[in-house]
Structure 1
Amino acid sequence: MPSLPVSPYYAVPVLVALWVVVKLRNVGKREKDLPPGPPTVPLLGNLADFPKEFAHYKFTEWAKTYGEIYSLKVASGTAIVLTSIESVKELMDRRSATTVDRPANFMVERITDGKNMVLARYTEDWRALRRAAHSILTPQACNEHVHIQAAESAQVLYDILHEPERFYTHLRRNSSSIIMSVLFGRRAPRFETTEVTDFFHVQHLWEHALEPGAHPPIDIIPVLAKVPERWASWKTLCREVRRLQRKLYFGLLEECEKRLEQGKHTGCFLEEVIERRDEFGLSRELAGYLGGVLLEGGSDTTSSYLQTLVLAMVSHPDVQRKAQEEIDRVVGRERAPSLDDLPKLPYIQALIKEVHRWRPVAPLCIPHGALSDEYYKGYLIPKDCTIFINNWGIFHDEAIFENAEAFEPERFVKNEHGVRDGVDTKDFRENLAFGYGRRICPGIHLAKNSIGMNVTRLIWAFNYEPVTDPATGLPEKVDTWNYAKGILTCQSFSPTLPHYTEPLLLGPEPFKAKITPRSKHIADIIDHEFAAATSDFERYEELLSPEDKAFVQKVRAHH
């Protein structure tokens, strides 16, 4: 009896099933020509081994096994990890045209429409934002704002003098107020200033939105984007973060616009952006997001750095003593140091570099994305892969830095890059901690001015010691490894929202320190300089809230 023909309706699902099996068979597998890496498992690749927190430690451990360039498979995606100056210089700087992208992130796109300059993909909007940022943040333009940085530095010394136990938030207020003044012409006289608390509140929600594993893997399974919001709490989170960010960013932008209409200039950067919008090719949307993302960067990174400085001073009294001896010799104790003194202070310059190396604010930088296939040392760097720059691993490489785990500014006194004798430094540059290629931090000159001024003055003004344990009467040991697990480096603003599990930015968790003025005379100078800074502050205080105005009047009445 002849067999019946097989219906094509039965053949189609069989063929589809076979196609799926073949496809899934290769998911998680390391493709040919990729750099080596940890063993993979089907479907997941290295996902099960991917560190849940402080990935820079694990990435550095893997680098010792698999080399300066290795690959990780995350399901069907690929991550490349670079842990050498040579590979970073070649791929991030020299080939920046093809490694300038960012990895796809549905949450970022939904919240910011791709207009967050730091996390945006390589688009025309990003290019316009970058052109504008680099045009306004030149070294010369940043130097014009040194006066407000000096005034804010006078206040942070005053605040710490009178409330030393709150040094952690005083440093955070300082960095937030500087960047708000410079960008928007509006300062924050206290940590409780509405714009500061609003900023840190929305930043905490923003970090939760970016938290790996806290939300469905939309970038891996795009169909999840179509889930209705009533069944997708992460969509509600995106909507709330977007609303709060826009309220803050565009509220500050509108203040600038109204001041310009009234002919009242403060000289802030957003005034220039508004006046040159057509030249820069910026819409009002992009102008608002440009100010917002610069506010994000400047509010957190500098304060995290300065908190690490205090931690280093408490835990390394010999370094503190050497730094103070140099300042006393060059500047003396009759006046506070200025930025002009820094070139004459080689040990302080070395100390500044060592803080960057010892506890980098961005231990893995912010991941890059590849726009096209690249080959390096015979390995494929595939299009659309995520590229991690392991600054932590580079800065703590014993082959490059002797006694790399130790805090030793002397290494940078010995030579410009702080490296061991015989290390080839042709690929080194001074500003490795500020990023690479076309994604280098545009606010680098502003940040360096703030860091240079505050480091010098904080060391000149105060002695830093561990607090005394009341039970034993002995100094409490300071944990130099207790660093925050979040994008932000402050305690959670909402106990219901967990910390982000791998930091983009790293700073010490709040810690205790005994901070005292080095002399009564120095304390008097701090009080005097704060009072003298009033005229610099007033330019940025026109639109203060009634509560902030009352606070300012109360503090100044004391003088």
Structure 2
Amino acid sequence: MIPLVDAYGHIAILAGVPLSFVAVIFLRRLIENSQNKPILPPGPMPLPLLGNVLAIDKKEPWLTYTEWRAAYGDLIFVRILDQEVVVINSQHVAQALLDKRSRIYSDRPYLATLEPYGWSVNFGFTGYNDEWRLCRRLFHQTFRPESAVKFRPMQIRRAREMVANLVDDPQHYHSHFATFSSSVAMSTVYGYDASARNDPLVQIVINAMMGLSMLTPERAIMLKAFPFLLNLPDWCWGSSIKRGAQTSAKRVNEMVNVPFQYVQQHMADSSHSSMVAENLQRMETQDEASKPMFETALKKAATTAIVGQQRSFISYFMPSTHLLHVASYETTSSTLMAFALAMVLYPDVQKRALSDRRATVVCNIWGISRDEKRYPEASRFMPDRFIDANGALTDDNPAEYVFGLGRRICAGRHVADASAWSAIATMLATVDISSAKDDQGKTIDFTPKFMVGVVRYLASP
């Protein structure tokens, strides 16, 4: 039994930690304000200590940033607690900064959730350093445009398997989309031929991806301020964060190592070809001292490729010391979910489609893609807006910004785009996508729901 005096002492210590944190922020702000600082972009007036955090929609911050564009313009400065943030609401400004000055907009800030939850294996979160450049080079060798073409037959085959699954079991369409996305990634990265349904390695990936919902900005801020939460005993209030981190880290570790070991076990098979296999062969020619770093970088590049194919990073803070992409990675599984929703809500389009084809900087791609001046009725699904009077595509190509910009642009965008095209074209040619009906044949009304957290994606019913 803990003596009463000691118990009160522990309570006093716990109570003093947040007060100390507030005091440190306050003193830091006083010091910063007393110094000469450069002129900042316009933005809402921040509150002492809290900044603008109370004014920002916690689940969908891009909506707030888009609203502020009308008042403050395409470049906005906001303060979230002690974090300074610059929000970009314009493609023109984004390209001017993130493409033309990419050297200073390519780093990543510290995120307190990455290491505990196992997600430091994704090199998208790695700082702009030699490790990141090595990971990017390994990634680019496999997914550059001229290399991505060789995957097309496999993508078409997988798309046909997906359609067969949709016809046999339309109720679980979300699972079929996820299986298609994962199987394409597993084939290109590990040379693994996944089963059309319920594949064990694909399930390992899906289990690991479930942990992404825990990587919320709020949890990152909390762990940065109170890292002792990861050391609380299981019986203590607040220990759920630690237990969630342990579970997530275990699943991510399994996702990293199990398919990697599969490649190592099948290296002797001359027909085995994949991103990991080719680079393991290259590694054999290197000196022993550099092999551990190379293997670590290869695992990170492979894991990033798998994760990038699985979920769409619509709402996640993909930050750098000077860069934060909102909606930068439009990947296959979520793209197909959004496509299915668009076909249900706009059946007329489906019919026509059969004939066609320094502070942290936030690039608010949600706001860019819904600029009413550029796209009237921006929230309406109107593919015709990208076709001119002569039936040709206009020069307005959303791919120039939805995959990110600068040196952090999605390296796997060519394969991801080809996968989405293969799946969507195959579905349009073979199946009719419509709302579900009840026993009396009446259409079942529904309201689309989106999951938010580290990612934003369309939820399965």
TM-score (norm 2): 0.80
RMSD, aligned α-carbons: 2.9
Structure 1, residues 412-459: CA drift from partner, whole Å, max 9, x if none?
A: 11187758xxxxx7xx77432111111111111111211111111110
Is 1:452 the counterpart of 2:421? The answer is yes
| Equivalent residue number for residue 263 of structure 2 | 256
What's 2:216 paired with? 211
Alpha carbons of 1:124 and 1:458: their partners in 2 closer, same or farther (altered >3 Å)? Answer: same
Structure 1 residues 235 and 283 mapped into 2: Cα distance closer, same or farther (>3 Å)? farther
User: What are the within-5 Å matches in structure 2 for residues 222-301 of structure 1?
Assistant: 224=227, 228-230=231-233, 233-260=240-267, 262-277=268-283, 282-300=293-311, 301=331
Does residue 307 of the first structure (1) align with residue 318 of the second (2)?
no
The answer as to 2:370 corresponding to 1:396 is yes
Distance 1:178 1:188 in 2: 9
Q: Equivalent pairs: percent with the same residue?
A: 23
Matching residue of 2:14: none
8 Å Cα contact 2:189/2:276 also seen in 1: yes
Separation in 2, partners of 1:292, 1:179: 10
Q: Counterpart of 1:485?
A: 451
| Contact in 2 for aligned 1:54/1:485 (Cα 8 Å) | no
Q: CA deviation at 1:140?
A: 2.3
TM-aligned CA deviation for residue 470 of structure 1: 5.0
Q: 1:20 to 1:218 in 2, by over 3 A?
A: closer
Task: Supply the distance in 2 between the matched residues of 1:227 and 1:170 (Cα, whole angstroms).
Answer: 36
Matched residue pairs, number? 408
AA in 1 matched with 2:336: L
1:23 aligns with 2:27: yes
Partner AA of 2:376 in structure 1: E
Aligned positions of 1:135-214 closer than 5 A: 135-208=141-214, 210-214=215-219
Q: State the secondary structure of the residue aligned to 2:113.
A: helix
Residue 177 of structure 1 aligns to a residue whose secondary structure is: helix
- SS of residue matched to 2:49: coil
Letter in 1 for 2:245: C
For residues 522-555 of structure 1, give each alpha carbon's deviation from its aligned partner in whole angstroms, at most 9, with x where no partner exists: xxxxxxxxxxxxxxxxxxxxxxxxxxxxxxxxxx
> Which stretches in structure 1 are left out of the alignment for 5+ residues?
1-15, 327-346, 349-382, 420-424, 487-499, 512-559
3-state SS of paired residue (1:217): helix
Of the structure 1 ranges 82-91 and 428-437, higher mean CA displacement relative to structure 2 is found in 428-437
Matched, 1:510 2:450: no
C-alpha distance after superposition, 1:303-362 (max 9, x if no partner): 1101111111111121111112x1xxxxxxxxxxxxxxxxxxxx32xxxxxxxxxxxxxx
Gaps of 5+ in 2: 1-19, 312-330
**Counterpart of 1:460 in structure 2: which amino acid?**
A
Amino acid at match of 2:156: A
Contact 1:26 1:43 in 2 (8 A): no
Render the CA deviation track for 1:32-59: whole Å, top value 9, x for unaligned.
6121112211110111222111222121
1:112 offset after TM fit, Å? 4.7
Where 1:89 maps in the other structure, the secondary structure is: helix
Task: Give the letter aligned to residue 475 of structure 1.
Answer: T
CA contact (8 A) 1:27 1:44 kept: no
Aligned equivalents of 2:119, 2:380: Cα separation in 1: 43
Q: Secondary structure at the match of 2:271?
A: coil
Give the Cα separation in 2 of the matches to 1:263 and 1:318.
49
Report the CA distance shift for 1:322/1:233 in structure 2 as closer, same or farther (over 3 A): closer
Contact 1:28/1:45 (CA < 8 Å) preserved in 2? no
Deviation at 1:177, TM superposition (A): 0.9
Q: Distance in 1 between matches of 2:310 and 2:346?
A: 27
Residue 101 of structure 1 corresponds to 107
Is 1:405 the counterpart of 2:379 in the alignment?
Answer: yes
> Which residue number in structure 1 is paired with residue 6 of structure 2?
none
**Aligned twin of 2:317:** none
Q: 1:308 to 1:228 in 2, by over 3 A?
A: closer
State whether residues 60 and 83 of structure 1, in contact with CA within 8 Å, keep that contact through their aligned partners in structure 2: yes
Where 1:397 maps in the other structure, the secondary structure is coil
Structure 1 residue 70: deviation in Å? Answer: 0.3
What does residue range 428-507 of structure 1 map to in structure 2 within 5 Å?
430-470=399-439, 474-479=442-447, 482-486=448-452, 500=453, 503-504=454-455, 506-507=456-457
Specify which of 51, 55, 65 is matched with residue 59 of structure 1.
Answer: 65
Please say which structure displays the higher CA radius of gyration. Answer: 1
2:296 maps to amino acid? E
Q: How far 1:294 sits from its partner (Å)? A: 1.0
Give the Å deviation of 1:109.
Answer: 3.5
Deviations 1:55-110 (A, max 9, x none): 22121111121110001111221011100011100111111100001221122134
Distance in 2 between residues matched to 1:463 and 1:197, nearest whole Å: 28
Contact persistence 1:314–1:478 (CA under 8 A): no
On the 8 A contact 1:28/1:46 being kept in 2, the answer is no
Contact kept in structure 1, 2:158 and 2:184, CA below 8 Å: yes
For 1:414, what is the secondary structure of its paired residue? coil
Q: 1:113, 1:201 → 2: CA distance? A: 13
Matches of 1:114 and 1:391, distance apart in 2: 25
Q: 1:317 to 1:20 in 2, by over 3 A?
A: closer
1:234 Cα deviation after fit: 3.4
Tell me the SS of whatever aligns to 2:377. Answer: coil
Q: 1:386 aligns with which of 360, 366, 380?
A: 360
* Maintained 8 Å contact 1:28/1:42: no
